């Protein structure tokens, strides 16, 4: 008999957290699991779930911010677990992670799993806010059987804070199937093209990113940027680029679900975030044999080093601009780093190993 597996998500966007579920669930044997996905209704993610033949269960009261409706969401989750007789619940991110694990414990779901795609507590928050989120994480870990971290730094940090016992905590790096690039794409030989696929949000540090690349372009005539994505700061970033009169060298095409054609024309990839977990955007870039320019934060340093790219400091505009202009000076060094990036991502972010690791946990075993 198939085990009834539920993946619990929050928003119906096609961001890294939702893509994680799609990548993992696609790798599971169809004869072993009956797959359910629950989350907020509507959006590209929901369409992707249904296209794959999995059952989507809407949670109508889900909200991103903390809300009185969270109690209703808890009740909705509890009843869907009971109604569908779920054998395994796999929760993702902080709010679904807490509500889902507590509801599953009350509903006596046999196996309760959580993947942490970054912690809710961050250094930029006030201490009282950090402590509140730490306590919520501790409560969620108490209710669950296993917690998977997609990088080592968050797992080590959570263990040092005493948020969960060591025997519950595992690291399994994000991974995806091999990326196929467009064979017809041609790189711009006259320019050094740095690209990115991001959400235009505070987390992604887009205001400093866009301002910095505008100033770098003023200093280096061969630099060109293509920043894909949308989000709450998109209009502001576009106006910054226009104010520098650089719209022809800094392209902001908006969101595009087909990333590979763009990666094929980049010479390097940039992600200058303030915090991350294990970004699929960097994994994709490295699979495309692109060197990566990353911000100096722990999770990105687990993927990017001087062999495969460049790490640039946050909140140091001069160093950021100097770094970009220096990188653009030698395409051959970038190409060599890109080849090493491809080799590293194949070793570190292996798709089969990711799927096998979660399958082991679904069976109540320790991943190898």
- pLDDT tens-place values along the chain, 368 residues long: 899 999 999 988 888 899 999 999 999 999 999 999 999 998 899 999 999 999 999 999 988 778 888 999 999 999 999 999 999 999 998 899 999 999 999 999 999 999 999 888 777 778 898 899 899 999 999 999 999 999 999 999 999 999 999 999 999 999 999 887 766 567 777 899 999 999 999 999 999 999 999 999 999 999 999 999 999 999 999 999 999 999 999 999 999 888 999 999 999 999 999 999 999 999 999 999 999 999 999 999 999 999 999 999 999 999 999 999 999 999 999 999 999 999 999 999 999 999 999 999 999 998 87
The set of residues, in sequence order, having a beta carbon less than 8 Å from that of 297 and lying 6+ positions away, is: 273, 274, 275, 276, 314
Domains 3-175+350-362 and 192-348 share a fold: yes
What does pTM read for this prediction?
0.91
Question: CB-based contacts of 54: which residues, under 8 Å, 6+ apart?
Answer: 25, 35, 36, 37
CA distance 25 to 5: 10
For the chain, give every domain's residue range: 3-175+350-362, 192-348
- Say which CATH architecture domain 3-175+350-362 belongs to: 3-Layer(aba) Sandwich (3.40)
Alpha carbon distance 231, 237 (integer Å): 10
Residues ≥6 apart with Cβ < 8 Å to 15: 199
- The 3-class SS string of 268-316 reads EEEECCCCCCCCHHHHHHHHCCCCEEEECCHHHHCCCCCCCEEEECCCC
CA-wise closest residue to 260 among 349, 177, 182: 182
What is the topology classification, in CATH, of domain 192-348? Rossmann fold (3.40.50)
Q: Which two tokens stand for residue 363?
A: 């069976």
Report the distance separating Cα 350 and Cα 177, nearest Å.
Answer: 8
Cα distances (angstroms) measured from residue 326 to each of 72, 211, 262, 296: 53, 17, 23, 17
Q: Is 205 left (phi over 0), alpha (psi -120 to 50) or beta?
A: left
């Amino acid at each position: 008999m198939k085990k009834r597996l539920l993946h619990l998500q929050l928003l119906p966007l096609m961001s890294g957290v939702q893509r994680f579920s799609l990548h993992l669930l696609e790798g599971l044997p169809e004869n072993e699991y009956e797959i359910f996905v629950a989350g907020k209704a509507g959006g590209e993610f929901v369409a992707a779930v249904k296209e794959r033949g999995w059952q989507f269960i809407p949670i109508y009261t889900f909200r991103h911010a903390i809300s009185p409706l969270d109690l209703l969401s808890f009740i909705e989750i509890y009843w869907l677990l009971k109604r569908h007789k779920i054998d395994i619940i796999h929760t993702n991110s902080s709010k679904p992670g807490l509500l889902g694990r507590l509801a599953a414990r009350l509903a006596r779901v046999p196996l309760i799993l959580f993947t942490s795609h970054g912690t809710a507590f961050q250094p930029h928050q006030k201490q009282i806010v950090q402590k509140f989120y730490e306590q919520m994480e501790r409560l969620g870990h108490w209710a669950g059987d296993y917690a998977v971290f997609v990088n080592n730094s968050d797992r080590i940090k959570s263990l040092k804070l005493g948020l969960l016992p060591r025997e519950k905590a595992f690291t399994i790096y994000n991974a995806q199937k091999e990326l196929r690039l467009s064979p017809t794409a041609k790189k711009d030989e006259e320019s050094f093209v740095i690209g990115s696929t991001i959400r235009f949000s505070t987390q992604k540090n887009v205001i400093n990113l866009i301002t910095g690349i505008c100033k770098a372009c003023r200093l280096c005539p061969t630099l060109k940027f293509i920043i894909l994505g949308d989000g709450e700061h998109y209009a502001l970033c576009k106006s910054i680029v226009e104010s520098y009169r650089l719209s022809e060298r800094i392209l902001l095409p908006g969101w595009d679900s087909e990333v590979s054609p763009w990666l094929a024309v980049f010479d390097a990839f940039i992600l200058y975030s303030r915090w991350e977990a294990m970004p699929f955007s960097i994994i994709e870039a490295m699979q495309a044999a692109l060197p990566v320019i990353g911000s100096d934060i722990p999770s990105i340093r687990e993927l990017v080093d001087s062999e495969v790219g460049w790490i640039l400091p946050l909140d140091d505009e001069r160093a950021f601009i100097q770094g970009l202009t220096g990188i653009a000076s030698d395409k051959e060094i970038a190409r060599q780093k890109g080849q090493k990036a491809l080799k590293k991502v194949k070793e570190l972010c292996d798709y089969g190993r990711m799927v096998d690791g979660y399958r082991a946990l679904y069976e109540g075993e320790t991943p190898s």
